[in-house]
Amino acid sequence: MVLLIDCAGARSALALIDPDRGRVQEDVREVAPDDQLAARIDALAAANQLTAVLVGSGPGSFSRLRSGVSFGVGLALGLRLPLLHLGSLDLQAGRARIPVRALGDAGRGRVYVLEPGAPARLVEIDSLGPGLPLCGWVSPPTAARLQERGLDLIPPGDLAGIGESALRLLGAATRVGYDRVPIQYLSSFGRLRS
C-alpha cells in the first residue's frame, strides 16, 4: 500500500493506494491543522501495511507544502520505506480524463498553472485566457475570480479522486532520498522556486 500525502494546495489530501488491486481510499479536507496528519493517516492505514510514501511536491504554499513533505519524509524514514514524489499539479491534472490546465492557488490574484508538455508556472489570474479546461483545488475567492473571467473549473463530480489520479500516475513517480525531495514554492520575490 502506498500512502499519498499532498498538502500543497487549498485542500490537504491523503490517500491509501493499493496498486495490486487498483483500489484507493482517500481523505481530502479543506486545509486542516498540521497536527491532524498523524490521526488522519492512522484512520486510513496501519503503519505495517505501507510499502511506500508518495508526497506531492508542489508548487504550493511553502508552509503547508513543507509540513506535508516533512511528515511524509519522517514517516518513510522511520518505517524504512521508499519515498516517492509527484508534482501536485500533475496529481490534479491526472484527475481529468481529458487534457487540462491544472491550477493551484498562489495567493494575491495568482495561480500556479500546469499545461500539458510545459513546466509549472506562476501567472496572474487576469492573464489567463481561453484554452484547455481548468481543474484543481483553489480557494473560493480564486474560483470566483476565474468565473468572473469566464473560466470555470471542471466540476468536482466530473473528475476522478486524487487517489485514483495517484494510482494512474504511480509509475511516473520519482524515488528520492529522504533529504532530496524537490519541492516547488513561491519565493518572497514572486518567482516559482525549486
| pLDDT tens-digit map of 125-149 | 999 999 999 999 999 999 999 999 9
What is the spatial distance between Cα 102 and Cα 123, in angstroms, rounded to a whole number?
12
Task: Name the segment(s) of the chain with CATH classification 3.30.420.40.
Answer: 2-87+162-193
> Which one of 3.30.300, 3.30.160, 3.100.10, 3.40.50 gives the CATH number of domain 90-157?
3.100.10
Cα distance between residue 194 and residue 190, in whole Å: 13
Alpha helices in the chain (DSSP H): 37-44, 62-79, 88-93, 140-148, 162-169
Domain with CATH 3.100.10 in the chain: 90-157
Query: Which homologous superfamily is 2-87+162-193 in?
Result: ATPase, nucleotide binding domain (3.30.420.40)
At residue 135, the pLDDT reads 97
pLDDT of residue 45: 87
Question: C-alpha grid cell for residue 141?
Answer: 475567492
- Give the integer Cα–Cα distance in Å for 91 and 165: 6
Q: How far apart are CA 87 and CA 56, in angstroms?
A: 5
Tens-digit pLDDT profile for residues 155-193: 999 999 999 999 999 999 999 999 999 999 876 555 666
Q: What is the value of pTM for the model shown? A: 0.93
CA 33/CA 146 separation, integer angstroms: 27
pLDDT in tens, 52-108: 999 999 999 888 899 999 999 999 999 999 999 999 999 999 999 999 999 999 988
Q: Cell 473549473 maps to which residue?
A: 153
pLDDT value at 5 more than 70: yes
Q: In this predicted structure, what is the pLDDT of residue 47?
A: 84
Q: What is the mean pLDDT of the chain?
A: 92
Mean pLDDT across 3-14: 94
